[in-house]
Chains A and B, each alone.
Chain A
């Protein structure tokens, strides 16, 4: 396992109307190929900023960021993003939303039937074959998020970046999609960086949990290795003492070490 994504001494300073704001300072993080890493921390600490930096949507003010041995110079389809609010284009059907991405990535090397096949496969992966001709406003929030995930997966990215992908969903839908994601990642062996504020979600899905300190000038506080065996099941973990121990570790970090005055 080689370092696949790495951030070295990354600083992020936003300069806005009210002057400069140092969001991140000296963030060091390396992610291996096929690894599932969660980034957890209190609201506003800079989780999205870390993800957007890896996505290339933001440029760091200092430090080095590498992906697959090359410097991250901007956004690109090899680092697909699942946005918090799904960001589907409302004027395109579910199929066309995914097709737009597939066409961009594989359009120069593959013919149309093959692109369509990829799109169908992505929809099938998230169990939405029957809704492919629907528009985003005709399906539920959970389904939209699944289309967003399918769009990202269909691009066969080197790294899948997810910003609180299930944050806007109700608890049952969220659990269902977490289980689905667990299965998909198991099958595809994707490298994933997921931002979350949900402790259970982080422990259930991750190989490692990156816990961030509170901002401003937030950085990586601790990194917790989640050595629970895979495949994991929500029900079995509920009885697993190791699971509860890990959960306690994260809670301790969030509510003791980095306790936040509300």
Chain B
């Protein structure tokens, strides 16, 4: 009696799916013609299970998020709930590229303008930061020379640079780009320098035996070897730039997500502020994923 109980226990503990597949496999052991069908069924069940396991947690997480949001909006009626925000978003995205003068433009223009500022600021940072990092990584003396300055400037809050930008450029838009530039250049410099200084000695020995020119060493050995580091630098750098753009635009104005948030705050249109937060998050996520995809190509 007790023996059967012990034998039954593990079966009872098995998950439902496994129990089901077992009953499906039962007839196949009786009739020799059906084993393939039983196996296929089991495989389908396995695939279904892995899909469920991959999709379910994020959905549950999102549901929790929306639930909490609903809860908060009920307690604090000033904050619009998900439904109200959704309706507003549908309306907003149904015509993303309208233009009613400089202060009233579609969400699409705002996104594109912010992206363009980030692109310009980051592009200039890359143009200067990557070669600078290359030199720092290659020549220890220059690195020792620059490292105190970098350590000093890197932790400075990005917006602290804004007055300098306004002072020098005497215009809001270049000042915003300047802030992006100065805050996104550090990850580029540091990661490039790290990548170049970490080129394996083996590769450098190859270069020495071949007596390669400095140019060939840079292009055929240093650059490809440091590429994964440089790409990490680019990813961090764009992340910082995107993080800073909203704040910079809030202060400088013009067309852009940051300015839009500020504008809608003045209009007390809280739905739009929430939408802006989601848009900033989603665009940031997409940028990050695209760069991760690119980085995969350079994983030797």
Interface residues, chain A, CB within 8 Å of chain B? 55-57, 74-77, 79-81, 83, 85, 87, 89-92, 100-101, 104-105, 135, 137, 155
User: How far, in angstroms, from A152 to B32 measured CA to CA in the complex?
Assistant: 62
In B167-218, the 8 Å CB interface with A consists of 202-203, 205-206, 208-212, 216
Q: Which of A81, A104, A135, A137 is in CB contact (< 8 Å) with B211?
A: A104
Closest to B221 in A: A89
Over the window 207-236 of chain B, the binary record of Cβ atoms lying under 8 Å from chain A Cβ atoms (1 yes, 0 no) is: 011111000100011001101000000000
B209 touches A85 (CB 8 A): no
A79 touches B209 (CB 8 A): yes
Q: Contact: A89 with B211, CB < 8 Å?
A: no
**Residues of chain A within 8 A of B206, CB atoms compared:** 83, 87, 89
Distance between B228 CB and nearest chain A CB, rounded to angstroms: 11
Question: Inside 8 A of B220's CB, which chain A residues have their CB?
Answer: 89, 92, 100
Instruction: Please report the C-alpha to C-alpha distance between residue A55 and residue B207 in the assembled complex, in whole angstroms.
Output: 13
Closest chain A residue to B223 by CB distance?
A91
A80 to B209, CA, bound (A): 7
Specify which chain B residues have a CB less than 8 angstroms from the CB of A135 in the assembled complex: 300
B205, B206, B224, B300 — most chain A CB neighbours (10 Å): B206
Q: A83-B202, A85-B202 are in contact. Are A90 and B300 (CB under 8 A)?
A: yes
CA distance A175 to B216 in the complex (A): 36
Q: Which single member of A76, A81, A89, A104 contacts B203 (CB below 8 Å)?
A: A89
Q: Are B210 and A104 in contact (CB under 8 A)?
A: yes
Residues of A near B216 (CB, < 8 A) are 100, 104
Choose one: A57, A92, A100; the contact of B208 (CB below 8 Å): A57
Beta-carbon contact of A75 and B202 below 8 Å = no
- CB within 8 A of A75: which of B203, B209, B221, B300? B209
Nearest Cβ on chain B to A105's Cβ, whole angstroms: 8
Q: Given A87-B203, A89-B221, A100-B220, does the pair A55, B300 have CB atoms closer than 8 Å? A: no
Determine if A77 and B209 form an interchain contact, defined as CB atoms under 8 angstroms apart: yes
A74 cross-chain contacts in B, Cβ below 8 A: 208
Contacts of B45-100 to chain A: CB distance below 8 A: none
**How far apart sit A137 and B211, CA to CA, in the bound complex (Å)?**
25
Q: Is the interface of B mostly helix, strand, loop or mixed?
A: helix
Contact status B210-A77, CB under 8 Å:
yes
Cβ of A87 and Cβ of B205 under 8 Å apart?
A: yes
> In whole Å, how far is B297's beta carbon from the nearest beta carbon of chain A?
11
Chain B residues with CB under 8 Å of A105's CB are: 210
The 26 listed contacts between A and B (C-beta, < 8 Å) are A55-B209, A57-B205, A75-B209, A75-B211, A77-B209, A79-B209, A80-B209, A83-B205, A85-B202, A87-B203, A87-B205, A87-B206, A89-B203, A89-B220, A89-B221, A89-B224, A90-B300, A91-B225, A91-B300, A92-B220, A100-B210, A100-B216, A101-B210, A104-B210, A104-B211, A135-B300
- A83-B205, A85-B202 given; 17 more Cβ-contact pairs under 8 Å: A55-B209, A57-B209, A75-B205, A75-B209, A75-B211, A76-B209, A77-B210, A79-B209, A80-B209, A87-B203, A89-B220, A91-B227, A91-B300, A100-B216, A100-B220, A104-B216, A137-B300
The smallest beta-carbon distance between A72 and chain B, in angstroms, is: 12
Supposing A89-B224, A100-B220 touch, asked if A76 and B211 sit within 8 A by C-beta, the answer is yes
Residues of B within 8 A of A75 (CB): 205, 208-209, 211
- Given known A77-B209, A77-B210, contact A87–B202 (CB-CB < 8 A): yes
The answer to whether A81 touches B205 (Cβ under 8 A) is: yes
Q: What's the nearest-Cβ distance from chain B to residue A236, in Å?
A: 36
Complexed CA–CA distance, A77 and B216 (Å): 15
Q: How far is the CA of A55 from the CA of B209 in the complex (A)?
A: 7
Closest B residue to A91 using CB positions: B224
Interface string of B272-283 (1 = CB under 8 A from A): 000000000000
* A91 and B300 alpha carbons, distance in the complex (Å): 7
10 tightest A-B CB contacts, nearest first: A90-B300, A91-B224, A87-B202, A75-B208, A104-B210, A75-B209, A81-B209, A87-B206, A76-B211, A101-B210
A105 to B216, CA, bound (A): 13
Contacts of B300 in A (CB 8 A): 90-91, 135, 137
Query: Which among B208, B209, B210, B216 has the greatest number of chain A C-beta atoms within 10 A?
Result: B209
The CA of A85 and the CA of B203, in the complex, are separated in Å by: 11
Bound Cα distance A155, B212 (Å)? 13
A76 and B210 alpha carbons, distance in the complex (Å): 6
- With a cutoff of 8 Å between Cβ atoms, the chain A residues found around residue B203 in the complex are 87, 89
B177 CB to closest chain A CB (Å) equals: 34
Q: How far is the CB of A203 from chain B (nearest CB, A)?
A: 28
Question: Which B residues are in CB contact (< 8 Å) with A89?
Answer: 203, 206, 220-221, 224
Please encode chain B, from 282 to 298, with 1 for each CB lying within 8 Å of some chain A CB and 0 for all others: 00000000000000000
A145 nearest CB across to chain B (Å) = 14
The chain A residue sitting closest to B213, CB to CB, is A104
List of A residues within 8 angstroms of B227 by Cβ: 91
Q: Which residue of A lies closest to B202 (CB)?
A: A87
Residues of B within 8 A of A79 (CB): 209
Question: Which residues of the other chain, B, contact A56 by a CB distance below 8 angstroms?
Answer: 208
Q: Which residues of A contact B221 (CB under 8 A)?
A: 89
